[in-house]
């Protein structure tokens, strides 16, 4: 009596959750970096 489906589904859900969290963090960091880059360029061109 072994039911690998339940544990496999839980593991898969955890992997998907971790992946989506990492990708969301990457997107947020990318937007922050782009915003900083635009601000930096505008500040440099102003002087």
Length of the chain: 47
**Structural domain of residue 46, as residue ranges?**
1-47
* Separation CA 34–CA 47 (nearest Å): 20
- Residue-wise pLDDT for 1-47, tens only, equals 666 677 788 888 888 787 888 888 899 999 999 999 999 999 999 87
Closest CA to 30 of 18, 19, 38: 38
Assign residue 2 a region (left: φ > 0; alpha: ψ between -120 and 50; beta: otherwise): beta
Q: Is the pTM of this model over 0.75?
A: no
Structurally, how many domains does the chain consist of?
1
Q: What is the largest CA-CA distance in the chain?
A: 74
């Amino acid at each position: 009596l072994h039911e690998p489906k339940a544990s496999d589904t839980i593991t898969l859900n955890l992997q998907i959750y971790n992946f989506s969290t990492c990708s969301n963090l990457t997107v947020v960091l990318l937007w922050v970096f782009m915003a900083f880059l635009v601000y930096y360029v505008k500040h440099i061109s102003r002087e």
